[in-house]
Structure formats: C-alpha cells, structure tokens
A and B are shown apart, each in its own frame.
Chain A
C-alpha cells in the first residue's frame, strides 16, 4: 500500500502500471458513480454536517454574545469574554506555554522520527524486526496507565514542574507512529535518486538533504502537525507533571474554567475558541495531506 495521491481526489495509479488510456474508461466509470441520486448524498451529508457544525456554532455564539443574552445570533456582539479569559484567567500565559511545548514536541518528534524512519526504510540491520515490533506494540500501551510510573521518573530527574517533562512525554508517545509514517514516506522516494546523488559526489547526508528531504515535505508536514496538534490538545501530562498555575497549558486552563463553582459560560466558550484557533489553522493547512499521509502506510505499516 504505497499509493500516494499527488492530486486530491485523483485515483491512484495501479502499482503494476497497467493504467489504461484515460478517456473512455474514465468517462464510463464516472457515469457509473453518477448513478447515485444526488439527494442520497446531500441529505445524509447535510444531516451529518448539522451534527458537526451546531456544536461549533454554539460555542462561538456563547463567546460573542453578552452574558445573560439568550439570542440565537451573536448580536449585539461583544469581546468582553475574550478579554476576561485572556487577561484575568491568564489564557495569554497558557497560550504561550502550550505553543512552546507544542513547538518543541514538534521539533523533537520530527527529528528523532526522521532518523529512525530513514534507518527503517533504507537499511537491513539485525534488530530491525524487533524494532518494528516494539514500535507496533507500543501503540497498544495506554499512556494514561503510565502516568504513575512516569511521574516517579520525572520526580527522580527533578523535572516535575518543568515543561521539559511534558515535551519528553509527548515526544515519546508520538514517536512510534511518527517513525512508521516517515519510513513509509521515505520508502516512496526512489532509492536510485539517492544513489545518483552519491555518484555525483554527494555524501549520504548531502544526498539526503538535497534529494530526499525536499520530497518528504508532505510527510514531514503531516507528522509535524500531528505532533503539534497532539501536544496542544493533550491534557493529562501537563495536568500531572506541572504544578504551578503559570506553567500550565491551555487544556488545563480550560478544565479549571469547567471546574469552577459557578461556570461562567461566556468565559468558558471564549476559552474554547482560543484553544481551537491554532488547531483549526493547522487542520485547514494539512487537511489535504491527511488522507495522503495515512494512505502512505500509517496503518498498514
């Protein structure tokens, strides 16, 4: 399963290269798909869209309408909730912490996974099978069950209350999937290209940088964004390993708003919108690579 779609929606070329001249066959097939009546697509899709979008709308609505309003449209509009959450509830600090942890997790995960993925894709070595097996097995270890021993380890390393503990924990649990993903992407770069670069006098590292790396861009973007989004969203590690209020991350900040005695729904909604913005931007950016990334061998190894 190595089909990588270069254009969105284009059918992958069969591996044996037996693709027929497109014109006739393409047309007939598309007509066959077109037999699905339009309403059978739009009706269920519309219903599902409603289920997806109403909750988002509800949050935006609460964040923009004045406290006490029951209007179903955010008018008159107010930004009081955002101001309150950002300044009084120190979401500005949480935002910075989350961004910092997210970026470092991204860098560590992509760097380590790139090295490991390259080794898996390009070499035969003695412990390769064992390493693969360890990567796959670690997918089944629930991170939540590892909290207690991890807490002990970070305590021994005096890393409790340091963002480094969260970066390490996030990186470690992101690694296995990232390595498998990246090695899939590297396998899709023809080895002969690298060899050609060596013949031209490049060292292995140079060949990697000049030939392989540019072709890995979609893969690196997918893996990097997974790592960032995951660490941005993750709640437990920060909750357990960070003690001080001013070191906390956005999800923990949100959970304190949820846990408040009398929940301020406007502030909660505004906090939610703030926490969603970076992820939505990243998602809009990687959406078209997402499906490609999984096709390239995430699940199938």
Chain B
C-alpha cells in the first residue's frame, strides 16, 4: 500500500543523464501537479454531466416548468413537493411498486446467485463451459431480455401454448396482460438476466477464501453446512452487503426492461418511480414536476442506502 505512493520523490531519477528538471517544469508535468492534471478530464466530465445536472434538478424542482403550459412557468416554491405528497396517488403507487420490485429482485437474485457461485466453484468435469453458459445472460440488454421473454410469454406461439398442448395451463393465457401474473412474469425475466451478476461477484470473492480454513474445519469434523455458515458466509459478508446495495440501486433505476416489457401496465400496476418520472418528463412534458419527483426519489434512495449500510454494520470487525 505505502509502496504504491510517490511521496515527494522527484519524477526523474537522480542519476539520469537527461535534463530532468527543465522539461517537466516547463510542461507542468511536475509530480506536484501531475495527479491533478490526470484526474482533470474525469473531474470535468463528472462535474459537467453528473454534478451540474444534479444541482439543476434541485433548481427546477422549485419551478413550474411545463412545455405545454408555458404561460405558467416560473418560481413555484414548494408547490411541486406539496402536490407529490398530498395530491398524487400515482407517486405512492409507483413508490410502493418500486420497493416491492427492488426487494423481490435483489433477494431472489442474491439467493440464486449464491447457490450458483457455490456450485460452479466446485471442481467438476465441464466447469469452464458451465461457467460461461450460466453467466452469459449477464451481457444481455434489458430490451433484448424483453424480446426473448416476449417470445416465450406470447399466448399464440409462446411456451404457454406448448405447455397447454401437454395439458398444463390453458390456451391463450397471456401472463403479461393479467394484473395477477404480470409482476411475477417480469420478475422471472429480470431474474434470468440478473442472477449472473451476483454469481460472478460472489465467485470472485469465494476464490479468495484460503482453502486451509475448510481443511481445518473438516479435520475438526464440521459438516459442510457448518463450514458454509461459519467460514464462507462471514467471509462473503462485505461483498454481499455492497453488491446488494449496488444492485438495489441498479434495479430501482432499471427502466429498460419494464418500459419495453409491460410499459408500466397493465393498468399501471408495474410502473416504478423512475418510469413514472420519465413519463412525466417526456410524455407529459412537465419538467418541473418531473424534477421534483426526481429529487424525492433521490432523497429516498440516499436515505435507504445509508440506513442499509448502518443496519448491516458494513465494514465492521466481524472476522
């Protein structure tokens, strides 16, 4: 760690025959200034296209800014926020659905990803091929997931038809237009794509557990279940906490799949908060209100993230 830091040693070797000082000073490449120069492009890009838009979100959220009603544009104070909390059932519906969606997806993806990682961490014939195949949906886009699962779900030529041929279920049932089944249909499609993410991360971490630990445990007569709960799980703890949090944000943010698979329907039952924001901003052209929604969503996300890190005692001395 300490060795990787260029403290105050000059960038040029002491005995170098070339004129070390002059050129570096001339071009601003002194070791003092160099790190700032190196991070400058990243800082500028992130300031311009992440930080500035964030600030403008807060600004617009206090404005009436609606492209279809330009005569009303102007300072609105907290009106947008008042409307969100007191007069917008769609906000609450989409918030509840977002919570349900994120919780279901992250829990199931973690459970399946953990099992999958443990499986492909064993030594067996065909392991490399098995890994490549089970991880492959990781690289698939949301829209492609929709494409594939539409082909599977459609009532006329999908899997349902063949299942009905075999006597399971009924003909012509469309899981995506039934409010009772659409949630689980979407969950299954997203699971298909999302499980490899956890499996890859957990597998990477599994490989860093020293094998000696298991050896010692099995010499002491610990069963494989006990080994899992006393060695594997504690070791994976931090990785699991961080990856579930990242995944939760990612799933909250996941507009691609739901927008194309269900369009938030039927009857709005699969509208998440970001989907609602996008529709408000780009279809209703109500930018002011959309940014107020964004602000609220961001606040909720931040609050939940901090709460989760606190409650899970991330980084605590548990080892």
Chains A and B are bound partners: yes
Which residues of chain B (28-57) have a CB below 8 Å from chain A? 29, 31, 34-36, 38-39, 41-43, 45-46, 48-50, 52-54, 56-57
Of the candidate stretches A75-83, A122-130, A213-221, the one touching chain B is A122-130
Across-interface contacts of A111 in B (CB, < 8 A): 41
Alpha-carbon separation in the docked complex, A70 to B160 (Å): 13
Alpha-carbon separation in the docked complex, A265 to B130 (Å): 30
Minimum Cβ distance to chain A for residue B188 (Å): 9
Digitize B49-72: 1 where CB-to-A-CB distance is under 8 Å, 0 elsewhere: 110111011001000000000000
Minimum Cβ distance to chain A for residue B232 (Å): 13
Digitize B1-44: 1 where CB-to-A-CB distance is under 8 Å, 0 elsewhere: 00111110001110111100000000001010011101101110
A5, A125, A176: the one contacting B46 at CB < 8 Å is A176
Q: Are B18 and A201 in contact (CB under 8 A)?
A: yes
Q: Are B208 and A269 in contact (CB under 8 A)?
A: no
Across-interface contacts of B302 in A (CB, < 8 A): 140
Across-interface contacts of B260 in A (CB, < 8 A): 235, 255, 258-259
Q: Are A141 and B246 in contact (CB under 8 A)?
A: no
Across-interface contacts of A138 in B (CB, < 8 A): 46, 50
Alpha-carbon separation in the docked complex, A140 to B54 (Å): 12
Alpha-carbon separation in the docked complex, A51 to B1 (Å): 44
B252 at the interface (CB under 8 A from A): yes
Interface size on A, residues (CB 8 A): 120
Question: Given A34-B123, A144-B278, A291-B203, do A235 and B143 touch, yes or no (CB 8 Å)?
Answer: yes
Across-interface contacts of A144 in B (CB, < 8 A): 253-255, 274, 277-278
Alpha-carbon separation in the docked complex, A124 to B15 (Å): 24
Q: Are A147 and B50 in contact (CB under 8 A)?
A: no
Alpha-carbon separation in the docked complex, A146 to B249 (Å): 14
Across-interface contacts of B31 in A (CB, < 8 A): 123
Across-interface contacts of B215 in A (CB, < 8 A): 25, 28-29, 32
Which residues of chain A (131-180) have a CB below 8 Å from chain B? 131, 134, 138-153, 168-169, 171-173, 175-176, 179
Minimum Cβ distance to chain A for residue B302 (Å): 7
Digitize B188-219: 1 where CB-to-A-CB distance is under 8 Å, 0 elsewhere: 00001000000011011101101110110010
Digitize B151-171: 1 where CB-to-A-CB distance is under 8 Å, 0 elsewhere: 110100101011000000000
Q: Are B4 and A187 in contact (CB under 8 A)?
A: yes
Residue in B closest to A235 when the chains form the complex, CB atoms? B256
Alpha-carbon separation in the docked complex, A59 to B144 (Å): 10
Residue in A closest to B3 when the chains form the complex, CB atoms? A191
Residue in A closest to B277 when the chains form the complex, CB atoms? A145
Q: Are B150 and A258 in contact (CB under 8 A)?
A: yes
Q: Are B53 and A149 in contact (CB under 8 A)?
A: yes
Q: Are A41 and B122 in contact (CB under 8 A)?
A: yes
Q: Are A115 and B39 in contact (CB under 8 A)?
A: yes
Q: Are A116 and B116 in contact (CB under 8 A)?
A: no
A120, A140, A254: the one contacting B301 at CB < 8 Å is A140
Interface size on B, residues (CB 8 A): 113
A14, A113, A146: the one contacting B42 at CB < 8 Å is A113
Across-interface contacts of A25 in B (CB, < 8 A): 212, 215
Digitize B105-142: 1 where CB-to-A-CB distance is under 8 Å, 0 elsewhere: 00000001001100110111001101111111111111
Q: Are B139 and A283 in contact (CB under 8 A)?
A: yes
Q: Are A279 and B246 in contact (CB under 8 A)?
A: no
Across-interface contacts of B130 in A (CB, < 8 A): 45, 49
Q: Are B41 and A112 in contact (CB under 8 A)?
A: yes
A233 at the interface (CB under 8 A from B): yes
Alpha-carbon separation in the docked complex, A242 to B172 (Å): 37
Digitize B238-262: 1 where CB-to-A-CB distance is under 8 Å, 0 elsewhere: 1100110110010011111001100
Alpha-carbon separation in the docked complex, A8 to B16 (Å): 41
Residue in B closest to A293 when the chains form the complex, CB atoms? B204
Alpha-carbon separation in the docked complex, A22 to B89 (Å): 65
Q: Are B305 and A263 in contact (CB under 8 A)?
A: no
Question: Given A141-B298, A172-B46, A229-B139, do A30 and B274 touch, yes or no (CB 8 Å)?
Answer: no
Question: Given A191-B3, A254-B143, do A290 and B46 touch, yes or no (CB 8 Å)?
Answer: no
Minimum Cβ distance to chain B for residue A264 (Å): 11
Q: Are A116 and B41 in contact (CB under 8 A)?
A: yes
Question: Given A121-B4, A198-B12, A201-B13, do A175 and B45 touch, yes or no (CB 8 Å)?
Answer: yes
Residue in B closest to A258 when the chains form the complex, CB atoms? B260
Question: Given A36-B122, A49-B134, do A254 and B147 touch, yes or no (CB 8 Å)?
Answer: yes
Residue in A closest to B297 when the chains form the complex, CB atoms? A145
Alpha-carbon separation in the docked complex, A97 to B133 (Å): 28
24 contacts between A and B (CB under 8 A): A11-B211, A29-B212, A38-B124, A48-B119, A52-B134, A55-B149, A111-B41, A113-B42, A119-B38, A120-B39, A122-B4, A140-B245, A147-B281, A149-B53, A172-B45, A187-B4, A192-B3, A201-B13, A233-B139, A234-B256, A257-B147, A258-B147, A258-B260, A265-B151
| Given A49-B133, A199-B13, 10 other A-B residues pairs in contact with their CB atoms under 8 A | A29-B212, A45-B119, A52-B136, A149-B54, A153-B52, A191-B4, A251-B141, A275-B144, A295-B204, A299-B246
